[in-house]
Structure formats: C-alpha cells, structure tokens
Structure 1
Amino acid sequence: MIGHLALPAGADRRPAVLIGPEGMGLSHVERRRAEALAELGYVALAFDLHGGRYLSDPEEMLARCLPLLADPDRMRCIGHAALDVLRAEPRVDLDRIAAIGYGTGGAIALELGRDGVDLRAIGTVNAVTTGRPGEAARIRCPVWAGVGSEDPIMPPAQREAFTAEMQAAGVDWRLTVYGGALHAFHHPPVDHAAPPGVGHHPRHAQRAWRDIVDLLAECLPVTQ
C-alpha cells in the first residue's frame, strides 16, 4: 500500500487525521485533502486501497470493493495498517487522532470505530454503512455522516438503518443529507466513465468539506 503523508509546519506534535478514499482508490483528490488538513495544522495520512492502483474502470472497482465492503475484518486490517503508519510518525499526538473517509474509505473509518479504536472523531461522506450487531457500541467518539438525498447506493432505507444502529448504540451521531446530490457528489468530475447514480455537486462538495473541517475543529482542535 502506498499512502500520502502530509505534515504541518513546525516540529511539535499535532493532532492527526486518517483519510480514506473512495472505492476507486487513492488519487490526487485525497492527496490534496491531506495537504489542506496539514495547512490547518494536522498531520494527515491519505491511505491506499489497491496497492498503489487507481481503478478507473467501474466494473473492476466494484469487483474489488464489494467483497471488501462485505468483509468487516478485512476492512479493519486495512484501517489498522494505515493507522499504524500514522501513529509511527513522530509529529503525531497519539491521544488525538480522527478518521474520515469517502465511500469505501468511510466504511473503513466506521469499522475502526466499531473495533473500539480510540479515535476523537469519525467523519464519512457516502458511507452510511452498518456493521455487525452490537459492535457500534464500541464507538468511543462523535460520528458525523454526510450523504446525498438522491444517492441510489446509500438510499433512505440504508440511511435509516445506519441512524438506528448509531442511536441504539448510544453514539453521539449526526447525519447531514445534501438535497439533490448523487453518490460521490464531493468528488470532482473524472475523465473516465462513472457508474450510474454518481455525479459531482460543486456547492454541496464545498459544504461537505466545511462540515468535515468543523467536525475536526470541534473534536480535534489544533493548538498553536
């Protein structure tokens, strides 16, 4: 796996953020987000899903990601491997780490929470996935999730199942539904074929990013 580590200015320890990519894999989009978080004072690691590959073919992406999404233990292995790399960075304040993610990467962030990892916050976009019964009770931090109202991959029934799971587990959770947005609405347009139901929404993409930054500012404030 080949991730992208972004460091803030200075030499002191800082809070850290793990960033999970969409199912296509790590791209310049997540790398830029890591750099943007570093500018805000965080150590940020955007992690890899496919051994350095970016899967522009939707069929290949689905063939790899659907089995992964059906295997919580494998998702946790990927998440823990990335988290180990982030924790090994000397600039990281080990007591202040958050995990955010998009699509498949967001599902992995949630599984780290369900595995009881000590995180300060979990934020996901396009990933209102549910876990194995009872395991959400292990989540030890606030959870924020954002989803498009017209997302056919995360439809209302899936959103309701996710919120029911969080509520039953006593999690401090929030769900933001972005009106008119499709799946992967946060992702800039790509130069290859996109699956049905996927589309960029520039205004909501900016709002979702601000919501992520606000979550981190609340749960993982940077002190200069």
Structure 2
Amino acid sequence: ARCMPLLADPDRMRDIGCAALDVLRAEPRADPDRIAAVGYGTGGAIALELGRHGVDLRAIGTVNALTTGRPGEAARIRCPVWAGVGSEDPIMPPAQRDAFTAEMQAAGVDWRLVVYGGALHAFHHPPVDHAVVPGVGHHPLHAQRAWRDVVGLLAECLPVTD
C-alpha cells in the first residue's frame, strides 16, 4: 500500500534518491566520482529514476523493479544497467520485462536483464512469519546468484584501485 503510490510518482522517487545521494556525498570517505545505485524492489525503481534523471552514476542495479520511465528519459542514463527478475514474478510479468528492455534498447543504454527461472517476486527476501502478497516467495539459490551478479556489476564498473 505504501509502495504503489510511490512507484506511480517518478518525481517523488527522484527526490528521495537525490536526498539519499546528498547524504552519501556529504560523507567524507565517499568518492563522488565513484557512485553506483543499487536497489531491491522500490529501491531499484529509485535507482532507475536517478539514471533517467541524468544523475552521474557508474552503474545501476535493480532486482525486482523493471519500471519504465517517461518517454525519452532513459536516454539520460549514462552507465551500465543490470536488472534481475524472477521468471514467475506476477508483479513484473513478461510484458513488463519486454517494456523495460524496449525502453533500454531504444535509449541506447548498456543494459543486461537476468531472468531467474522459477523465482517469484522478492525472491531475494528471506521468509517471514506473516502473510505476504501473493506471488512473493524466497528462492535462496537465486537470491545468492542475484547478489553475485550485483557484485559483478560493481566490480566491472567500480574497479578497486590503489
């Protein structure tokens, strides 16, 4: 109930993402030239909106958030985008995956999409002791794989230097 209105408001997501970046950039140990945005679910949608907003990022990673933006705004993304989603995710179904990949392709973005076979929405999240939204389910193997893929994206785009 809290996420859906936010996901429908790209400007609000951008405001939240930019506020988080302001906090990060104020950290003396942060290197403002080596920032990536990675998020799961709504956080991934915010990461994508930062890119569509033209924020200077080295990479964008999103798990379970294949949101599409306003026409033409993906052309502002100037870094690689990695996205991961479960094949059985009813919240991010094949039509949503197709719309996301079409948007990235049309904008000339360096993008990758990994579809994890048999995984539902929020497959990365460990089981909880209360009812969850239908279509949500933990998949421990794919959760580990997605994390390794995110780490690989960061290693590629933010290599460790001495």
Interval containing the TM-score (normalised by the shorter chain)? over 0.9
- Per-residue CA distance 1:56-101 (angstroms, 9 max, x = gap): xxxxxxx221111000000000000001000000001110100000
Partner of 1:155: 93
- 1:135 is aligned to 2:76: no
Aligned to 2:66, the other structure's residue is in SS state: coil
Which runs of at least 4 in structure 1 moved beyond 3 Å after TM superposition? Answer: none
Q: Secondary structure at the match of 1:177?
A: strand
Shift in Å at residue 190 of structure 1? 1.3
1:178 aligns with 2:109: no
Return the alpha-carbon distance in structure 2 between the equivalents of residues 201 and 207 of structure 1. 10
Alpha-carbon distance between aligned partners in 2 of 1:190 and 1:207, rounded to the nearest angstrom: 21
Q: What percent of counterpart residues are identical?
A: 90
Is 2:75 the partner of 1:75?
A: no
Distance in structure 1 (CA, Å) of the matches to 2:145 and 2:161: 24
Separation in 1 of the partners of 2:90 and 2:135? 6
TM-score (normalizing by structure 1):
0.71
TM-score normalized with structure 2 length: 0.98
Q: Secondary structure at the match of 1:101?
A: strand
CA RMSD of aligned residues (A): 0.6
CA distance, structure 2, for counterparts of residue 163 and residue 193 of structure 1:
32
Counterpart CA distance in 2 for 1:102 and 1:191 is 20
Aligned: 1:166 with 2:104: yes
1:163-207 Cα offsets, whole Å, 9 max, x none, are: 000000000000000000000001111122110000000100000
* Aligned mates of 2:89, 2:114 — CA distance in 1: 13
Higher normalized strand content (fraction of residues)? 1
Number of residue pairs matched by the alignment: 162
Measure, in 2, the Cα distance between the counterparts of 1:161 and 1:101: 19
Alpha-carbon distance in 2 for matches of 1:85, 1:192: 33
Q: What secondary structure does 1:153 align onto? A: coil
Give CA deviations for 1:78-136 in whole Å, capped at 9, x if unaligned. Answer: 00000100000000111010000011110000000000000000000001110000000
CA distance in 1, matches of 2:107, 2:126: 34
**Cα distance in 2, alignment partners of residues 96 and 203 from structure 1:** 30
Shift of 1:221: 1.3
Unpaired stretches in structure 2, ≥5 consecutive residues: none
Could you tell me how far apart the structure 2 residues matched to 1:188 and 1:221 are?
30
Counterparts of 1:215 and 1:135, CA distance in 2 = 22
Distance 2:32 2:44 in 1: 21
For residue 223 of structure 1, report the CA deviation from its aligned partner.
Answer: 2.2
